[in-house]
Each structure stands twice: as C-alpha cells, then as structure tokens.
C-alpha cells in the first residue's frame, strides 16, 4: 500500500494504473476509521481492480463555530487499520496542497443543499462538493463509494456527478451500526459515557417512527410531535431537525409513504452533532 501526499503524484499514480488497464474505486474519508469506513473499503474492492482511500479533514466544509479543531485524528491508527484491507493507495494531502494560496473556485449544488443540514450549516455542502469534485479530478475513479449515513451528502454528490457529466459511478453502502443501534461515526468518540446514552435518541426515534407508521400513523405533523417528544426525553439532547423528506428530491413530505426518509440531526450535550436516517417503511429500501 502506498501513501501519497501530493495531488500531482496521486494523479500520476492513478493515470499510470488506468493506462495499464486497471480500474479504480475511491473511498473519500476524513479519517479516524471505524467499521463503517472499513465496510466501504470492502465494498469498493468488489467494484474495481484497485482501491484508493482519501484521508483529508476538509476545512472548507466546517463552519466557524463547528468542530474542525476537535474532529478526531490518528493517522498511525488509521494506517494500521487500512493496511488490513485491500487498499492500493491512501491519498492524504494537507490543506495547503488542496487549497493553495489564492484558491477561489467553488463547486455548489443549488436546491438539494437548502434542506436538512444545509439550513443549519450554511456553506457546508459547497465545501463537500468542491473537495469531492477535486478528488474525482485528481484520481479519476470509475467508482466512488459513500455511506448512506450522510444521506443528504450522497444525494448531492450524485446530483453533482450527473450535472457535471463526471464519469464516475456513485455506489452507496448501508449505515453500519454499533450493537446498541447507534450509527457509527468518527464523532462518537467525542461522547462520554453519560451522554452516549442520549445519542441513542436518534436510532430509537427511527425505530419508533417505523412502529407508528406500521400502526397506521401517516401524518408527518403527528409523527414529528411524537419523535420530538421522544428525543427530548433523553437528557442533554437538542434537536437540529426531525424531517420527513422524499428520498430523491429531499423535499418535505406531509404524509409518510414508501418514498419517505426520516432524517434526524441532534446535538448531544451541546457539543456533538449526530445524524441518522432511514426509510420509514423499511421494505422500501433498495
């Protein structure tokens, strides 16, 4: 496995492999790997001849009051984990290499970014789409694999790739959960034992929504009241949003149906912002 820092060196590496007839799948990450990341790498290995993992904590997708400085990092730990997977190269540039002095170009998607996380994190998705478009240009993969936990991000990247005619197939991997149902996230390491229990408010809210829909409750207004009360019953929780949206357009829905995804964002103890999502009718998945 090779560790590559320079965008130019990464592009040359990928170009040489492509010219030799090898196909490349990309797994974009911000590091601090957990089983969710490793699952993406395993899926990527099934898609193409070679897997490239990017490891870059992208500063442009963090707002001024967000957790860029607190985002967990451990490069040596990450390399020990990734070496156990079928990964040919890790692209780990520094911010000054990805955003050199004078950088002033941005890639943004319009409508999809106005919903959900886009309302409380202005500029976040422009940072995501800009860095992902740069990764696609540098590595030029045939396939890119993303997790479904970042549901809105996945929809936005698919839209960007279609709109800009980027010849990459976007493949998604289902959410990987811990034994108690908590969606795996690098930010989970910022939870202490006392507030980790509150983090379960998201996955249990999703389960509760499915139960109520199964019992015939289809009014989004009614479901929202039920879920908000449930989440706030956990100590230390603050709701960013409880939203029922169309799985493709992300437009809000008034009645829960097969196309409906419940998307959740909750702050735990005022510090750790967690997200989760899922179809309210599980049989609709896929």
- pLDDT, tens digit, for every residue of 39-50? 999 999 999 999
Burial classification of residue 72, based on how many CB atoms lie within 10 Å of its CB (0-12 exposed, 13-18 middle, 19 or more buried) = middle
Contact 17, 104 (CB under 8 A): no
Q: pLDDT band for position 285 (50/70/90)?
A: very low
pLDDT given for residue 193 in this prediction? 87
The answer to whether 118 touches 245, Cβ cutoff 8 Å, is no
**Which residues share a beta bridge with 255?**
219
Separation of alpha carbons 200 and 226, rounded Å: 16
Confidence of residue 282 (pLDDT cuts 50, 70, 90): confident
Which residue in the block uniquely carries the two structure tokens 């992300």? 250
How far apart (Å, rounded) are the C-alpha atoms in residues 212 and 118? Answer: 28
| Residue of 162, 155, 189 lying closest to 277 (CA atoms) | 155
What average pLDDT does this structure show over 81-89?
98
Tokens of 82: 């990734």
Q: Which residues contact 38 (CB under 8 A, 6 or more apart)?
A: 81, 84, 85
What angle is formed at CA 115 by the lines to CA 109 and CA 116, rounded to 5 degrees? 120
User: pLDDT tens, 3-41?
Assistant: 999 999 999 999 999 999 999 999 999 999 999 999 999
Residue 124 falls in the annotated catalytic set: no
Spatial separation of the C-alpha atoms in residues 277 and 188, rounded to whole Å: 16
Domains annotated on the chain, with CATH: 2-173 (3.40.50.620), 186-278 (3.30.1300.10)
pTM (predicted TM-score): 0.93
**Cβ(223)–Cβ(256) under 8 Å?**
yes
Question: Mean pLDDT, to the nearest integer, of 190-215?
Answer: 95
Q: Are residues 253 and 221 in contact, defined by beta-carbon separation less than 8 angstroms?
A: no
Cα 192-193-195 angle, rounded to 5 deg: 70
Whether 284 has a pLDDT exceeding 70, the answer reads no
Comparing CA positions, the residue from 212, 263, 204 lying closest to residue 230 is: 204
Each residue's pLDDT tens digit, 113-135: 999 999 989 999 999 999 999 99
Q: In the structure, what pLDDT confidence band is assigned to residue 173 with cuts at 50, 70 and 90?
A: very high
Cα distance between residue 8 and residue 138, in whole Å: 8
Q: Which of 37, 115, 124, 173 is catalytic?
A: 37
Report pLDDT for 283: 59
The predicted structure's pLDDT at residue 91: 98
Q: What is the residue-averaged pLDDT of the chain?
A: 96
């Amino acid at each position: 496995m090779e560790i590559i820092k320079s965008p130019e060196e990464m592009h040359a590496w990928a170009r040489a492999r492509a010219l030799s007839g090898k196909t490349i799948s990309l797994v974009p990450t911000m590091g601090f790997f957990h089983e969710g990341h490793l699952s993406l790498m395993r899926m990527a290995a099934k898609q193409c001849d070679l897997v490239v993992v990017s490891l870059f904590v992208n500063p442009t997708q963090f707002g001024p009051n967000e957790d860029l400085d607190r985002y967990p990092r451990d490069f040596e730990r990450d390399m020990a984990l990734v070496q156990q997977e079928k990964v040919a190269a890790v692209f780990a540039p520094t911010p000054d290499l990805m955003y050199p002095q004078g950088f002033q170009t941005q890639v943004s998607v319009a409508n999809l970014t106005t919903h959900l996380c886009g309302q409380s994190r202005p500029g976040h998705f422009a940072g995501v789409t800009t860095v992902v478009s740069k990764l696609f240009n540098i590595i030029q993969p045939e396939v890119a694999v993303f997790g479904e936990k970042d549901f809105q991000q996945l929809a936005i990247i698919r839209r960007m790739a279609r709109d800009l005619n980027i010849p990459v197939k976007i493949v998604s991997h289902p959410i990987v959960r811990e034994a108690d149902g908590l969606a795996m996230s690098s930010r989970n390491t910022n939870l202490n034992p006392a507030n980790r229990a509150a983090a379960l408010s998201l996955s249990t809210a999703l389960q509760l929504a499915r139960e109520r829909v199964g019992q015939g409750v289809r009014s989004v207004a009614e479901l929202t009241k039920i879920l908000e009360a449930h989440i706030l019953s956990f100590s230390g929780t603050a709701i960013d949003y409880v939203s029922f949206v169309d799985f493709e357009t992300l437009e809000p829905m008034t009645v829960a149906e097969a196309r409906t995804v419940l998307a959740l964002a909750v702050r735990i103890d005022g510090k750790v912002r967690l997200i989760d999502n899922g179809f309210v009718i599980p049989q609709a998945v896929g």
